């Protein structure tokens, strides 16, 4: 289905909000939206606290200087929130009515797939809304990368490198739990870049005996005595796993849960550039009155896709990356 609701003319004012979990690069996306719009004589309201702020009319008029010095900052200056009332039509209508009251004729929503469902609802109620994928999980199938993923990946690799130093010095095994919410890209990419002897992600069949114990015992015989095992969050108790590894291989093992440090920090160059490109493209769509689209990067090209189609796309597993990990991290 290709809904492209169009406005009668170029909007005089648009809004921008961040929603769901924060991700490094969200600020760079806000900045790109604000500056591209102002450059085209479109006023911009920044909506605080995601959809809750929209319902409450909690907005601030943005200008060029309000987005100064945020390009390199993690988090989001507009704050982000999870808003229960936006799941139902009543809350969505309140949001739409507030847009009409404040003169918001188009909206950019920076967030994950839940946030895009809200964007779809708002478009259906007459406010063209465009989604920009901002989440560290890289769990939005229609885009090769989401804003924040590469920064989080660098954070994880930095942590793994540090753990490796101590694992190497003590001949230990480090079991590292990384974020991912059912999507293993962060774990998988981190394992390839950080030298994970095994990488356990939710999407694949995994056998601890075969994929960790046997592999470690085989590798021990080649003279390697320190190991990194990367595990996506929510699959298993990594402390119990470390204990099991120690008991079965004789290699002293410790688990580290990286947790929320993965969500913060300065966005890397890739995320800043991705956010800038996506923010620019989002405004170009709204300028034409086009909503119900998600901005995506595919083969390094920025383009856009129908939100309904985007939300229906099944998740993909990067089997090639898995094969590479298993082939070279031995
Ligand atoms: P993350 O990557 O952090 O999970 P997300 O955007 O998927 O980001 P959610 O908590 O799923 O995070 O959604 C953010 C907000 O979007 C919700 O709090 C709610 O306000 C709105 N939202 C989510 N799902 C829907 C839906 N089905 N209909 C309308 N609004 C929704």
Residue 188 is assigned to a structural domain of this protein: yes
Residue 192 is assigned to a structural domain of this protein: yes
Q: What is the pTM of this model?
A: 0.95
Number of domains in the chain: 2
pLDDT (mean) for 58-72: 97
Ligand 1 pocket check for 113: Cβ under 6 Å: yes
Residue 286 is assigned to a structural domain of this protein: yes
Closest ligand 1 atom to residue 137 Cα is 2
Number of H helices, E strands in the chain: 12, 11
Q: Is 265 exposed, middle or buried (0-12, 13-18, 19+ CB in 10 A)?
A: middle
pLDDT (mean) for 67-95: 96
Closest ligand 1 atom to residue 21 Cα is 3
Judgement on whether residues 182 and 281 belong to the same structural domain of the protein: no
Q: Are strands 43-47 and 198-200 parallel, antiparallel or unpaired?
A: unpaired
Query: What is the pLDDT, as a whole number, of residue 270?
Result: 98
Judgement on whether residues 198 and 68 belong to the same structural domain of the protein: no
Residue 321 is assigned to a structural domain of this protein: no
137 is catalytic: yes
pLDDT (mean) for 146-169: 97
Task: Identify the domain containing residue 73 by its residue range.
Answer: 13-148+267-312
CA distance 128 to 4: 8
Ligand 1 pocket check for 53: Cβ under 6 Å: no
Judgement on whether residues 100 and 243 belong to the same structural domain of the protein: no
What is the 3 state secondary structure string of 248-261? HHCCCEEEEECHHH
181 confidence band (pLDDT: 50, 70, 90): confident
CA of 137 to the centre of ligand 1 (A): 14
- Catalytic-labelled residue, pool 22, 113, 137, 304: 137
2 pLDDT higher than 80: no
Average predicted confidence (pLDDT) for the chain? 95
Judgement on whether residues 46 and 35 belong to the same structural domain of the protein: yes
Please write the tens of the pLDDT for every residue from 240-281: 999 999 999 999 999 999 999 999 999 999 999 999 999 999
Last residue of a domain, one of 263, 292, 320: 263
Angle at 227 between CA 222 and CA 228, to 5 degrees: 145
Closest ligand 1 atom to residue 82 Cα is 18
Q: Which protein residue's CA is at the shortest distance from atom 6 of ligand 1? A: 112
CA of 112 to the centre of ligand 1 (A): 7
Query: What is the pLDDT, as a whole number, of residue 8?
Result: 56
Q: Which protein residue's CA is at the shortest distance from atom 5 of ligand 1? A: 112
CATH code for position 22: 3.40.50.450
């Amino acid at each position: 289905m290709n809904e492209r609701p169009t406005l009668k003319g170029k909007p005089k004012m648009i809004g921008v909000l961040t929603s769901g979990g924060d991700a490094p690069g969200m600020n760079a996306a806000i900045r790109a939206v604000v500056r591209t719009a102002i450059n085209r004589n479109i006023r911009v309201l920044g909506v605080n606290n995601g959809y809750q702020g929209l319902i409450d009319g909690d907005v601030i008029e943005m200008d060029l200087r309000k987005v100064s010095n945020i390009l390199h900052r993690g988090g989001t200056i507009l704050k982000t929130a999870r808003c229960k009332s936006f799941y139902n039509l009543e809350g969505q209508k309140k949001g739409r009515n507030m847009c009409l009251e404040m003169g918001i004729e188009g909206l950019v929503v920076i967030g994950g797939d839940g946030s895009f469902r809200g964007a779809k609802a708002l478009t259906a109620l007459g406010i063209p809304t465009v989604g920009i994928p901002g989440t560290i999980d890289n769990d939005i199938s229609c885009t090769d990368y989401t804003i924040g993923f590469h920064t989080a990946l660098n954070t994880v690799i930095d942590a793994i490198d540090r753990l490796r130093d101590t694992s190497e010095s003590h001949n230990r095994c480090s079991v590292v739990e990384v974020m991912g919410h059912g999507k293993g890209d962060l774990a998988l990419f981190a394992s390839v870049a950080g030298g994970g002897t095994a990488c356990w992600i939710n999407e694949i069949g995994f056998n601890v005996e075969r994929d960790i114990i046997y592999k470690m015992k085989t590798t021990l015989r080649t003279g390697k005595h320190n190991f990194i095992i990367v595990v996506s969050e929510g699959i298993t108790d990594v402390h119990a796993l470390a204990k099991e590894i120690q008991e079965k291989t004789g290699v002293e093992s410790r688990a580290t849960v990286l947790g929320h440090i993965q969500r913060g920090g300065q966005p890397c160059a890739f995320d800043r550039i991705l956010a800038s490109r996506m923010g620019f493209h989002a405004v170009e769509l709204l300028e034409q009155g086009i909503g119900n689209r998600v901005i995506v990067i595919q083969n390094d090209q920025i383009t856009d896709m129908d939100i309904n189609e985007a939300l229906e796309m099944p998740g993909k597993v990067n089997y090639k990356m898995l094969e590479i990990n298993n082939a070279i991290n031995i």
